[in-house]
Structure 1
Amino acid sequence: MKRFKHLEATSVDEAAAALQQYDSAHVIGGGSDLMGCLKDNLWMESPEAIINLKTIPGLDGIRQDEDGLHLGALVTLTRIAESDVVRNTWPGLAEAARKTGSPLLRNIGTIAGNICQQNRCWYYRYPDKLGGRIDCVRKGGKRCLAVPGDHRYHSIFGAVKKCIAVNPSDTAPALVALDALVETNKRTIPIDEFFSAERGAVSTVLEHEEIVTGISVPHPGAAGRSAFRKIALRQSIDFALVNCAAALTLDNGKIATVRICLNGVHNNPYRCIEAEEYLAGQPLTRESATQAGELALAKAKPLLFNTYKVPMAKAVVADTLMDCLKQA
């Protein structure tokens, strides 16, 4: 790890000013992803400074009001998973937080950090110290090395700018399904517009001096239901092979509104638009949920070694929808 300045900000404005002062700087909340990036010398340009956000008061609150749920950027995944407020009204989000990482990681990992972490690929994240830099396309190389190489855990919906690394977040699909808003020191961003693998190494639309300050989730209403499922080799401790979140409302036994999101299958969290359009106005049954799973994967373009993800994703979409039906 190369040397850098460590600054402790006392306000969001101070942290943003510090980011603006340096050409290469990052903020740190929980640090579970950032520290790994630093230790492995991941970036082409090492940061000059790291700005600590944990010293800023007021960024770690959980609040419910008539508009919905308000989460501070530094709320840990453990607190979200164990919050009665979240579990009772937004169970899909609580379950996604509970399924993220190990208990130790959930104790330090924050909700903002979980949605801002960089995409996962063993070529991109290969440690510099184990034989030198691997210049994949995300590091300025000319091609994605996973396409002709080992792509078992990579995108089944094609590449973005030649890269087939996947978004690894568990809470991201839950927040997409729940139609959340990401609040920063500059603007409010609909969650559907927040993720942007198109920018190369960066996985979100955040500008250099922009800091996530909180996340708002609208109230689902009395008829609202949500659920989350994850498939991983070692349950929650591993990144997902496939995960899925769904949120819906029922009216007289039929689906009035529905949002479905997969992750671990593409560069960005993947909205299942065709499945949502099919389910609107339908009763939710095992048959309709299974058909929704088929439609969700209709545009899949798997490679030789990740074809297994297609039937897996179809099944997890159907099962997640049926979990919504089980809720009282």
Structure 2
Amino acid sequence: MKRFNHIDATSLEQAAELLREHGGNSHVIAGGSDLLGGLKDNLWMEYPEAVINLKTIPGLKDIKEEEDGLHIGAMVTLTEVSESEVVKGAWSGLAEAARRTASPLLRNIGTISGNICQENRCWYYRYPDKIGGRIDCVRKGGKRCLAVPGDHRYHSIFGAVNKCIAVNPSDTAPALIALNATIKTTKRDIPADEFFTAEMGAQSTVLEHDEIVREILVPRPAAGNGNAFRKIAFRKSIDFALVNCAASVTLKDGVVESARICLNGVHNNPRRCKDSEEALIGSPLTREAAEKAGEIAVADAKPLILNMFKVNMAKTIVADTLMDCAG
């Protein structure tokens, strides 16, 4: 790695001020599992001159159940989320999403805020500079997405955003969207399904450069709610998802009163399946209804030759996750 200034922040306000002071040549570090890889591989067009450490800021490590729901501090690790008895109670889909992320060692390091803020995955974009030089794909100022004519096995099956077909890699993101969470930052409150964007180049969220996640609020599920998460990956540990899915379904008198379904690993942003949700409302949550919802979820898929297999995966995982919600 190249030299950079490592600065321990004592408050979120100071961290934001340091980001403004150093401009685009600065990053914050939480767990660092994604950031350090980028530094070692010289991933970005300009190497950062400053890294601001958030681990030295007090008050960001709590998991609290309050009247309005579950409050998770930005620096809470994925292991802590997955093992929390509070989270495993009413928010079991989120606990399972955290448990299925990466490996045990990485979950001990990685934070929930880092997991939702990591950059999208593509081996062309993330090609290490030390192995023959950096590859300038469209996200690095190049003219085209190299995955489209190249190796796109694990890329988007729903088309491109700004010519790029890299997918969002987060496991906790679809769970937070399905559970209608709110991302609370140093500037605003952002609904989880408005938090992600691929419109800003390398960046995968709507965060401004000097804006930092401080807490995630997950509302308390209604009576009769079931929520769940499933993931398909080559290996149960370490690997990013080929496809994952989270769902939250509330039943009243045996029929679906409300539903939220989110796929990930299939598009540049986590993909909310609103048409599938609407198809479930007012009917019993049967296997037949769940399979129909899965078919609707992929009705407008546009796979490429090498990733067509992900369409059936997505269709099936939606149905299976919904049946998990039904118990």
Q: TM-score, normalised by structure 2?
A: 0.99
Q: Which residue of 2 aligns with 1:262?
A: 263
State the alpha-carbon separation in 2 of the partners of residues 60 and 224 from structure 1: 28
Give matches, 1:206-221, under 5 Å.
206-221=207-222
- 1:55 and 2:59 aligned: no
- 5+ unaligned residues in a row in structure 2: which ranges? none
Q: 1:210 to 1:230 in 2, by over 3 A?
A: same
State the alpha-carbon separation in 2 of the partners of residues 212 and 2 from structure 1: 27
Residue identity matched to 2:89: N
State the alpha-carbon separation in 1 of the partners of residues 100 and 290 from structure 2: 23
Deviation of residue 222 (structure 1)? Answer: 2.3
- 1:186 and 2:187 aligned: yes
Q: Which residue of 2 aligns with 1:319?
A: 320
Residue identity matched to 2:270: P
State the alpha-carbon separation in 2 of the partners of residues 237 and 243 from structure 1: 14
Deviation of residue 237 (structure 1)? Answer: 1.5
Residue identity matched to 1:168: P
Identity of aligned residues (%): 71
Give a deviation string over 1:211-232, Cα, whole Å, max 9, x none.
0001000000221110000000
State the alpha-carbon separation in 2 of the partners of residues 12 and 191 from structure 1: 21
Give matches, 1:94-113, under 5 Å.
94-113=95-114
Q: Which residue of 1 aligns with 2:7?
A: 7
Residue identity matched to 2:167: V
Give matches, 1:1-328, under 5 Å.
1-23=1-23, 24-326=25-327
For residue 52 of structure 2, give the secondary structure of its aligned residue in structure 1.
strand
Moved over 4 A (4+): none
For residue 225 of structure 1, give the secondary structure of its aligned residue in structure 2.
strand
Query: How many residues were matched structurally?
Result: 326
Give a deviation string over 1:80-104, Cα, whole Å, max 9, x none.
1000100011000000000000000
State the alpha-carbon separation in 1 of the partners of residues 260 and 140 from structure 2: 34
Deviation of residue 180 (structure 1)? Answer: 0.4
For residue 87 of structure 2, give the secondary structure of its aligned residue in structure 1.
helix
Give a deviation string over 1:117-175, Cα, whole Å, max 9, x none.
00000000000000001010001000000000000000000000000000000000000
Residue identity matched to 1:15: A
State the alpha-carbon separation in 2 of the partners of residues 26 and 166 from structure 1: 22
Deviation of residue 262 (structure 1)? Answer: 0.3
State the alpha-carbon separation in 2 of the partners of residues 243 and 11 from structure 1: 35
Q: TM-score, normalised by structure 1?
A: 0.99
For residue 6 of structure 2, give the secondary structure of its aligned residue in structure 1.
strand
For residue 248 of structure 1, give the secondary structure of its aligned residue in structure 2.
strand
Deviation of residue 248 (structure 1)? Answer: 1.1
Deviation of residue 200 (structure 1)? Answer: 1.0
The alignment's C-alpha RMSD in Å is 0.6
